Structure 1
Amino acid sequence: MQAGGNDFTPVDAVPVDTAPVDVAPVDVVIVGAGIVGAACARALAREGLSVIVVDRGQTTGATSSSGEGNLLLSDKAPGAELLLAQYSASLWPAVVDELADELGAGFPSVEYDRKGGLVVATTDAGAAPLLAFAQSQRGAGVDARVLSTAEALELEPQLNPAITAAVHYPDDAQVQPVIASEAFLASARRGGVRVLTNAVVTGPVLDARGALIGVTTSRGTVRAARVLVAAGPWSGEVSGLLGAPLPVRPRRGVVLVTTRMPHRIFHKVYDADYVGAVESNAADLQTSSVVESTGSGTVLIGSSRQQIGFDDRFRVDVLRELAVKALRLFPFLAGAPVMRSYGGFRPFMPDHLPIIGEDPRLPGLWHATGHEGAGIGLSLGTGAMIADLMAGRTPGLDATAFSPARGSLAAHLEGARP
């Protein structure tokens, strides 16, 4: 099963249905059936809350099916996002075991693999910044091990020996994102969660005080005490329809996939310039070398970032850049046939932090979105935080930095409509 692919058919998939529905009011309606919405649904169901998940398409049909399944610490600078990544990483092993017990042997494995990451510099100018970045991460509790070239080649024998610096991150991991998302939803359904697909949100339901008490959709009205927007790159559009716009924008990424081959790449390997691309606000095309094998023997080659709206046209120039840069890391790939490419849209935020919590502009509106390319890895921590906040508990991780009311978002937010 290749991470990031679309070959998985959910065991309990819901047939395509667009018939109108009439549902009883619930505690929470979640807009978005990707991995973040699914993780929140599971966490809230385990709190005993009644939940309906609505999605404009099918479950796991958009961003969550278009990534590589990364659970990374290596690409995050010290700060709030790294703390959320560390918190989430601490939750994954136990949840993987819980899912296996809940869903049984008939449900595919989520393919949790703590295979580790290797970050390298390919130029003299890139070596010092990589080593300084790793040192700052170690100060924040990340296991970041500086390697000699010989040590790096022991981990990855096919790596270009011309690298100028290398850092090993043993705690980087990966899951199959489609299976993981569907496993969260399957678990949530067992807890009573209903999933309503092909239901496009068309507007808010407000009470006499102006509080949000549900949503209207193309399949009917869903009333709830709280509305949680977890619609990934479409969250800006959805929150705007509900009356409290968010500055979430789509940021397109593309991945190349080779044909199957004997395993010759054993970690997630990327050039240090990847970190700069992740942290950049630039709208133009940015590419960096990110290469890893999958369980099925294919090799995934990324990554690109580009703010071009929801334009998903095929772009040969982007694929060419990805291929050329991958050869800097693994020259043997020059002879590897490419069988396909796929792309998707990340939910970009201008301050590079997800929004998690209640919106102060509109009572009843909550958010769990804006994770950009880290949503797979951050999903469990986000779900746990939402469950804690809605239950009135102090979260396992301080939620202040992710609040919709944080200062770094003030300039980007509009007030809720009357």
Structure 2
Amino acid sequence: MKPDVLIVGAGIIGAACADALSAQGLRVTLVERDVVGSGATAAGMGHLVAMDDNAAELALSSHSLELWSELVEGQAQRHEYSRCGTIWVAADDEELEAARAKAATMRAHGLECDVVGAQELYRLEPNLRPHLAGGLLVQDDGLVYPPKSARILLSRAVARGASLVTGEVVALEDGGVVLADGSRLSAGQVVLAAGTRCLALAPELPLRPKKGHVMITDRYPGFIHHQLVELGYIKSAHASEGESVAFNLQPRPTGQVLIGSSRQFDTVDLAAEPSMMARMLARAVEYTPALAGLNVLRCWTGLRAATPDGLPLIGPDPTRRNLWLATGHEGLGITTSLATAELLAAQMSGRQAGIDTRPYLPSRFNAQGRAYG
């Protein structure tokens, strides 16, 4: 029987969409060329974080955190979930003032957070360098192991009758796709949830690959206790050109430390670059000098799908019939996957979503990829 919905991509976004759509009684088929939870999902750090660069980003990320809390309740170990919290580190008094403004914005959205001074900062994280001003502690941020969460979401969908097809989609058709072996799959609706790979199928989309590096150390339990991010990270994360690095450390449940982050435009070469790794490490050691004594086991890269305004594309494609988009999440795909799926499922079924869907509609961009207004 022909499925109601065909989803291209079985990363965290595609798996979440399959879960949400199958929960509404729709027949769902996913198509993935590699393995479930590969691509950007496997490359990501798995940080579940409320981001407030703009109101729409905060609405989507904070709502999705609520959904993540429901999902992992009672099964934290299955997702390798940890409610570690995030400390946005303030290097000086000016950044501490920015932390206070950030706290006010987050509290207005019901997020629990506290501005901490230097003494409390070093009690929480003694390996930070001396003479920092303080920071903002966001208690409910957490982390998961994204490939495992993607598989769990997909297994829920499969239990409701969803199916998984292994194959590479090479073309879109009205109500279907063409695979690399020449076979065709048809459905009432098609959802593109394949990150930067969406550009190969719909090159007109306002997406741009943004490469990132991640490193992981050997096991050093207790080296850090929270996700640590410099307050300048937001400026780096939303840069529209060039290369940038920012201090970002994450304590894994294994006792290992994940080291981020970098951003590079205009390359799809997934090779790890020693020069970029050196810049990342230098930035991390600047904030945590003892990190220089740890052993780094490996480094990998991934490609984030970025839109011009930093918000994802969630909703009907404005130029193709029966095509829906769930892509363009840049570095927030893990965090916002569950809310994305809810918003997409609500639009496809004509139901009310938990938040306003309008800021994320693909129709906000014109034919040249520029946002209206």
For 1:12-411, list aligned pairs within 5 A: 24-73=1-50, 75-97=51-73, 100=75, 109-123=78-92, 126-197=95-166, 199-205=167-173, 212-219=174-181, 220-240=183-203, 245-282=204-241, 284-406=242-364, 409-410=365-366
Q: For the residues of structure 2 that align with 1:330 and 1:202, how far apart are their CA atoms?
A: 46
Query: Mean Cα displacement is larger for which, 136-145 or 52-61?
Result: 136-145
CA deviations 1:100-154 (Å, max 9, x no partner) are: 5xxxx9xx61022221110112245544434333333334443331111011112
Report runs of 4+ in structure 1 exceeding 4 Å deviation.
Answer: none
Q: For the residues of structure 2 that align with 1:202 and 1:187, how far apart are their CA atoms?
A: 27
Q: For the residues of structure 2 that align with 1:403 and 1:68, how far apart are their CA atoms?
A: 26
Sequence identity, in percent?
34
Structure 2: gaps (5+ residues)? none
State whether residues 77 and 136 of structure 1, in contact with CA within 8 Å, keep that contact through their aligned partners in structure 2.
no
Q: How far off is 1:190 after superposition? A: 1.2
Alignment TM-score, normalising by the size of structure 2: 0.94
CA RMSD of aligned residues (A): 1.9
Structure 1: gaps (5+ residues)? 1-23, 206-211
Q: For the residues of structure 2 that align with 1:236 and 1:374, how far apart are their CA atoms?
A: 19
The amino acid that maps onto 2:222 is H
State whether residues 42 and 185 of structure 1, in contact with CA within 8 Å, keep that contact through their aligned partners in structure 2.
yes
CA deviations 1:251-291 (Å, max 9, x no partner) are: 11101111112322000011111111112212x11000001
Q: For the residues of structure 2 that align with 1:233 and 1:301, how far apart are their CA atoms?
A: 23
The amino acid that maps onto 2:303 is F
CA deviations 1:38-82 (Å, max 9, x no partner) are: 000011111111111112222212100001111101x42241111
Q: For the residues of structure 1 that align with 2:294 and 2:63, how far apart are their CA atoms?
A: 38
CA deviations 1:313-339 (Å, max 9, x no partner) are: 221111111111111221111111111
Q: For the residues of structure 2 that align with 1:136 and 1:86, how far apart are their CA atoms?
A: 12
Q: For the residues of structure 2 that align with 1:172 and 1:374, how far apart are their CA atoms?
A: 13
Secondary structure of the structure 1 residue equivalent to 2:188:
strand
Alignment TM-score, normalising by the size of structure 1: 0.84
Secondary structure of the structure 1 residue equivalent to 2:171:
strand
Secondary structure of the structure 1 residue equivalent to 2:52:
coil
